[in-house]
Amino acid sequence: MTQLDAVVKPKTKRSKRFLQSREPKLTENEKSAMLIKGGNTSETVTQALKDLYSLKKPNAVTYKKKNITRPFEDQTSIEFFSKKSDCSLFVFGSHNKKRPHNLVFAIAGRMFDFHVLDMIELGIEKFVPLKDFKNSKFPEGTKPLLVFAGEAFDLSNEHRRLKSLLTDFFRGPTVPCVRLAGLEHVLHFTALDGKIFLRSYKVLLKKSGCRTPRIELEEIGPSFDFVLRRTHLASDDLYKTAHKQPKALKAKKKKNISHDAFGTRFGRLHMQKQDLGKLQTRKMKGLRKRRGGDAERGPSAAKKARTP
């Protein structure tokens, strides 16, 4: 048993609060990410890790020292760092002659119970860093709007897992609702011809002459052109277990209430059988019942009888 696995009893209130923050919860904390440099990295990979840290912070931890490890061959050190820093996502950057400008992702990786669940290796073919875009940026911690374009994200199993992984990495804080002025940052992912294109935009709200503003997008960087390389995906059973929710979080089903695809709420009412003969309708003079004699003689006779 390692030192991290041993049962630790808190001696101070501060350590007690720290251990309570690491305990399992019904609603987990926001997912944090580790950004790790490999034993050999290029300037492109180092700058890419810095820009990804800028997009992810404050929920990110960066390791500046080099770590000689190969995640696809041995995940022990990655899992150790994950448990130590309480991070469920990681990005490992490396560079060599066989796989230049490599991100294992980017590698991108995802943890379940502090064990590697998914790893997808992406190679950087083209990169424009954040510092090359000379314009104003968005505030730190802004929740981005994620847009995925391309049929591959729906057809290919690897691209579906990559879409889920990118959503986990960039989704930002969980909020109950978003106002229009709060949509300041857009991340656009495009899958085309075996490549993944990542673009970052700032939303500009312009005057349109009506209540709804005119929206324009301004590229603020960084810009990536990725190519998909190696993958290490969890089995379907393990992937299903990782997505399992506690029973306490599942919404209780209410009888006779349903929702459509747009979230509209519908209710069903059960009523007793009605006798329409006793139904009270609107009273009109033309529908009044005539007297017995007038009804037998007809309307013309009744009119003559009332004439003096």
91 contacts 107 by C-beta, under 8 angstroms: yes
The structural domains of the chain, with segments of one domain joined by +, span 30-243
pLDDT of residue 307 exceeding 60:
no
Which pLDDT tens digit goes with each residue over 15-47? 888 777 767 676 677 888 889 888 888 888 889
Q: Smallest Cα–Cα separation from 129: which of 251, 15, 219, 216? A: 219
Query: Mean pLDDT, the chain, as a whole number?
Result: 81
Of 35, 72, 33, 69, residue with least CA distance to 232: 72
**Helix (H/G/I), strand (E/B), else coil: 54:** helix
Question: 30-243: CATH homologous superfamily?
Answer: Brix domain (3.40.50.10480)
Angle at 86 between CA 80 and CA 91, to 5 degrees: 70
Say whether pLDDT at 299 is over 70: no
Strand, helix or coil for residue 246:
coil
Residue whose entry in the numeric block shows the structure tokens 């500009």: 204
pLDDT at 10 over 90: no
> Between 188 and 176, where is the model more confident?
188
Q: What is the mean pLDDT of residues 91-97?
A: 87
Q: Is the pLDDT of residue 296 over 90?
A: no
- Rounded to two decimals, the pTM is 0.71
**What are the tokens at 199?**
């673009």
- Give residue-wise pLDDT tens across range 189-228: 999 988 999 999 999 988 888 888 888 999 998 999 999 9
**pLDDT score recorded for residue 226:** 92
Report CA-CA distances (Å) from 278 to 58, 269, 272, 281.
70, 21, 14, 9
pLDDT at residue 6, as a whole number: 58
pLDDT at 186 over 90: yes
Residue that is written with structure tokens 């314009």 in the block: 135
Q: Nearest 5 degrees, angle CA 91-CA 70-CA 102?
A: 50
- pLDDT of residue 106 exceeding 60, the answer is no
